[in-house]
């Protein structure tokens, strides 16, 4: 069942998503060669709790961390660890959730660590741009296939591949609600988008093959060919006309100096 949210509920969702956005900015301040993903996790949990929320991911389905930290060929669901030390030239996707006032926030951003190869920076840029292409289609009267098609055509036209098994989702009182939000699809297909729907759109785009492997830990998902993968995510509310983006990358970009 797809739950439509009232204006009041959407504003509560905005609060939780803004905490996520600011948490990601706190992480952006410390990402550098030599930092462990466990350090990032501790910073995130402390900031989320200091702002009156609880980490939405911690304990979810047994996940041990407050954030997902996916490095290089890891697509999603990387587990923070003291053994994972960021190196110059790495990329790291940080997916973060916060729960407050009965609603979940959910957003992700892929960061560069030090000097990253131009071809990998291009992958990140295209993935981030594809997120906004999808959001442009996320409006009342469109269909979910329009969102996925916009992401897919944009990325595939640049010779990148779209992960199929991992997708976006509805977000609200539960972290994962209906509907499923694929990053591929056909125009005019899928459920109709209605004002009051709240969804997390999160393209996961690979430099090489779209195929993936789940590691022995049962969580970490990586590319089959071990080429890099990028991941960006916003939570949005469907409206008549332009979608209302509830999360934000502005705080991150103030830290990194990039747009």
The CATH number of whichever domain residue 169 belongs to comes to 3.90.230.10
- Whether 57 maps to a domain, the answer reads yes
Domain count along the chain: 1
Q: Which residue, among 75, 68, 72, has the nearest Cα to 87 in the 3D structure?
A: 72
Residuewise pLDDT in 10s, the chain (259 residues): 999 999 999 999 999 999 999 999 999 999 999 999 999 999 999 999 999 999 999 999 999 999 999 999 999 999 999 999 999 999 999 999 999 999 999 999 999 999 999 999 999 999 999 999 999 999 999 999 999 999 999 999 999 999 999 999 999 999 999 999 999 999 999 999 999 999 999 999 999 999 999 999 999 999 999 999 999 999 999 999 999 999 999 999 999 987 6
The runs of H, that is alpha helices, within the chain are: 7-30, 37-50, 118-136, 144-156, 250-256
pLDDT digits (tens, 9 = 90+) for 190-218: 999 999 999 999 999 999 999 999 999 99
| Separation between Cα atoms, residue 224 and residue 210, nearest integer Å | 8
Check: CB of residue 183 under 8 Å from CB of residue 204: yes
Check: CB of residue 65 under 8 Å from CB of residue 48: no
- Whether 132 maps to a domain, the answer reads yes
- Whether 103 maps to a domain, the answer reads yes
Check: CB of residue 88 under 8 Å from CB of residue 117: no
- Whether 2 maps to a domain, the answer reads no
- Whether 215 maps to a domain, the answer reads yes
| Structure-token match 């090489």, residue found | 208
Check: CB of residue 212 under 8 Å from CB of residue 222: yes
Which domain, by its residues, includes 20?
7-256
User: pTM higher than 0.85 for the full model?
Assistant: yes
Q: What are 95's two structure tokens?
A: 């997916």
pLDDT digits (tens, 9 = 90+) for 94-141: 999 999 999 999 999 999 999 999 999 999 999 999 999 999 999 999
- Name the strands in the sheet holding 161-162, side by side, starting at the edge strand that comes first in the sequence: 161-162, 204-206, 229-231
- Whether 24 maps to a domain, the answer reads yes
Q: What are 32's two structure tokens?
A: 């550098």
Question: Rg of the chain over CA atoms, in angstroms?
Answer: 17
């Amino acid at each position: 069942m797809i739950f439509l949210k009232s204006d009041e509920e959407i504003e509560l969702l905005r609060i939780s998503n803004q905490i996520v956005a600011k948490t990601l900015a706190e992480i952006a301040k410390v990402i550098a060669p030599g930092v462990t993903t466990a350090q990032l996790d501790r910073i995130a949990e402390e900031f989320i709790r200091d702002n009156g929320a609880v980490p939405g991911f911690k304990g979810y389905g047994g996940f041990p961390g407050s954030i997902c930290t996916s490095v290089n060929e890891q697509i999603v669901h990387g587990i923070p660890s003291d053994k994972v030390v960021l190196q110059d030239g790495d990329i790291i996707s940080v997916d973060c959730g916060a729960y407050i006032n009965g609603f979940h926030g959910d957003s992700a951003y892929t960061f560069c660590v030090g000097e990253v190869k131009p071809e990998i920076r291009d992958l990140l840029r295209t993935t981030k741009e594809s997120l906004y292409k999808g959001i442009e289609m996320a409006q009342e009267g469109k269909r979910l296939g329009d969102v996925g098609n916009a992401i897919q055509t944009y990325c595939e036209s640049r010779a990148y591949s779209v992960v199929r098994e991992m997708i976006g989702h509805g977000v609200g009182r539960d972290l994962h609600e209906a509907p499923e939000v694929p990053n591929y699809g056909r125009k005019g297909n899928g459920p109709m988008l209605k004002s009051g729907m709240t969804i997390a759109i999160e393209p996961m785009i690979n430099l090489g093959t779209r195929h993936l492997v789940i590691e022995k830990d049962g969580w970490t998902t990586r590319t089959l060919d071990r080429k890099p993968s990028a991941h960006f995510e916003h939570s949005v509310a469907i409206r008549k006309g332009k979608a209302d983006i509830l999360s934000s990358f502005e705080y991150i970009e103030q830290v990194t100096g990039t747009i």
